[in-house]
Amino acid sequence: MYDLSLSEAYCPAQTDATVQDTTLVTLLRDAAARAPDAPALQGADEEGVLGRVWTYRDLCEDAERLARALLSRFKPGERVAVWSPNTPEWLLLEYAAGFAGLTLVTVNPAYQARELEYVLTQSEAAGLFLIRTYRGNPMWDIAQSVVQDLPGLREVVDLDDHASLFAGEDQPVTLPDVKPDDPAQIQYTSGTTGFPKGAMLHHRGITNNARMIFDRYKVSRGDVVLNFMPMFHTSGCAIIALGALQYQCKMIVAKLFSPPHMLDIVQSEKATTILGVPTMLIGLIEEQKASPRNVSSVFMVCSGGSLVPPELVRAVRSTFDCGFQTIYGQTEASPVITQTRDTDSLEDLCSTVGQPLPCIEVSIRHPQENTLCAIDEIGEICSRGFNTMLGYNNNPEATAATVDPDGWLHTGDLGTMDTRGYVRVTGRVKEMIIRGGENLFPAEIETVLLEHPDISETAVVGVPDPKWGEIVACFMRPAQGATLDKDVLLKHCRAHLSPQKTPALWIEVAEWPLTGSGKIRKFVLRDDLGAGKFTPL
């Protein structure tokens, strides 16, 4: 823990680590030199069946082969899109694009035609790499219908067709000199409050950020890391993949998240580190209770992406007998800004997102004035450092609205900072509920609700009301075997919250509308409630 005694909501950059001039190229070559025969990569199919193992030598050689093939068909600086679930070929393409000086555009495999067309058009992608179908989504057919209207897209390649994928590998090409500040990826943000924007991330940001996260995890070289987070998101292809690379870990990429299959892999492969959003961790805990496996190899579980309730922290530590950490950030920050430590108190693990990572400044600022807040005062969480994106692709207006002239990245999240530099997330600037002129913060209400044993997951939103302007609506999923009783829940809330914070509407849901990174799309819940698709209790 950093020993700080702050007088205002600003934490200066800490210097217990340094920002290195690294790229995907330098990292993979270094790993292949340090541990050429160590296992690096293995895929697990939709049934959890494990496939071929790549050593670090294999991985580096195949990535360079594919880079040469790509350079026979594309020019450095061009963009190529990958539209696929987690597979070994996804990672090979990520590294090969880095070697070739191409920018990788990541695409959610659940996208439909209109969404795919938007990303390919907005990113100006020259190539599309995909699989033919995934979970009933006819991706190849969708792609064929879309590319007819995209003259700039020169080729569509099936990732499973290695002859097409590696076509041109024997051509005489020279790999470019890739710089740390060159763009590595365009990641389309989750869009919890609207249509996604393409955040351009550079090599320096994603490589250093991943190393610092794994440093705080206390990962050891050669650990086995299970990666079921989507590779199209920074959690899968940056945090886990690039962290594992810098520790020469064996990474198992799971094509489909299935709690039974994931726990089987933990048991058989002795996985040591797990990162998942709360919804995934709840699924693993429920499965482990129903059908226990030997999960003693797990020493650290990490979560983020949405509110991590105290009961979940306790359940993870109890179920896996391991350490727990929380990360906080956003795609535009490459992506992590703050992180707890395994040595933090239970109170800090359950109610904060930790202190900043090294070399990153964090401040809490008044949303309107952009001035510093006082200690423990709610404001917008902002960060500044090596990890800030290059900007939004072809969207200078959105970039200027997110990164101010002083370089502060405005996250859109509300939070506080205490004298120790620990940050608490209290909600979204745009999710803040204004009831009768009073500001209410969903995260505070959600935390209280999740303390009730009958509630497994919850999402609180503001909905229009003619009298109050907005009222509080609570969407909730019951705990396994529980029956939700409105009167019981009202009594629970009134014991812990003032009347205006107590939900006026209670809606039970069987499943959530999620973004590709596992965040609840609150605006969809609000819109569906307004359209009469839910009946409150």
Judgement on whether residues 234 and 89 belong to the same structural domain of the protein = yes
Q: Which of 64, 61, 67 is nearest to 80 (CA)?
A: 67
170 CB-near residues (< 8 Å, 6+ apart)? 68
> In angstroms, rounded to a whole number, what is the distance separating the alpha carbons of residues 224 and 130?
27
Identify the domain containing residue 337 by its residue range: 19-417
Position 388 pLDDT exceeds 80: yes
Of 171-185, 319-333, 493-507, the least confident: 493-507
Identify which has the larger pLDDT, 325 or 436.
325
Judgement on whether residues 385 and 435 belong to the same structural domain of the protein = no
pLDDT in tens, 49-91: 999 999 999 999 999 999 999 999 999 999 999 999 999 999 9
Judgement on whether residues 252 and 129 belong to the same structural domain of the protein = yes
Identify which has the larger pLDDT, 482 or 521.
482
Judgement on whether residues 131 and 260 belong to the same structural domain of the protein = yes
What is the CATH number for 191?
A: 3.40.50.12780
Number of C-beta neighbours around residue 419 at 10 A: 13
pTM, entire model: 0.83
- pLDDT tier, 518 (very low <50, low <70, confident <90, very high otherwise): confident
What does the pLDDT average to over 372-377? 97
Residue 282 confidence (pLDDT): 87
* Residue at 426 is within a domain: no
pLDDT in tens, 110-165: 888 888 998 999 999 999 999 999 999 999 999 999 998 899 999 999 999 999 99
73 CB-near residues (< 8 Å, 6+ apart)? 127, 154, 155, 167, 168
What does the pLDDT average to over 346-363? 94
Position 414 pLDDT exceeds 80: yes
Judgement on whether residues 117 and 216 belong to the same structural domain of the protein = yes
Judgement on whether residues 266 and 338 belong to the same structural domain of the protein = yes
* Residue at 395 is within a domain: yes
Angle between helical axes of 88-100 and 24-34 (0-180°, round to 10): 120
Judgement on whether residues 185 and 287 belong to the same structural domain of the protein = yes
**Which of these three, 386, 417, 448, is where a domain ends?**
417
SS3 track for 188-255: ECCCCCCCCCEEEEEHHHHHHHHHHHHHHHCCCCCCEEEECCCCCCHHHHHHHHHHHHHCCCEEEEEC
- Compute the mean pLDDT over every residue in the chain, rounded to the nearest whole number: 93
* Residue at 535 is within a domain: no
Position 190 pLDDT exceeds 70: no
* Residue at 422 is within a domain: no
Q: How many structural domains are present in the chain?
A: 2
Position 364 pLDDT exceeds 90: yes
Q: Which residue has the tokens 């129903």?
A: 290
Judgement on whether residues 324 and 467 belong to the same structural domain of the protein = no
Judgement on whether residues 411 and 464 belong to the same structural domain of the protein = no
**Which of these three, 387, 417, 447, is where a domain ends?**
417
Judgement on whether residues 96 and 162 belong to the same structural domain of the protein = yes
* Residue at 13 is within a domain: no
> In angstroms, rounded to a whole number, what is the distance separating the alpha carbons of residues 103 and 100?
9
Helical (H) or strand (E) element with 184: strand 183-188
Residue 111 confidence (pLDDT): 83
* Residue at 403 is within a domain: yes
* Residue at 8 is within a domain: no
* Residue at 7 is within a domain: no
pLDDT in tens, 309-354: 778 888 999 999 999 999 999 999 999 999 999 999 988 988 899 9
Judgement on whether residues 439 and 338 belong to the same structural domain of the protein = no
Position 194 pLDDT exceeds 60: no
**Which of these three, 349, 384, 417, is where a domain ends?**
417
Position 494 pLDDT exceeds 50: yes
What does the pLDDT average to over 363-371? 92
- pLDDT tier, 227 (very low <50, low <70, confident <90, very high otherwise): very high
Judgement on whether residues 273 and 376 belong to the same structural domain of the protein = yes
What is the CATH number for 523?
A: 3.30.300.30
- Evaluate whether 253 touches 88 at the Cβ level (below 8 Å): yes
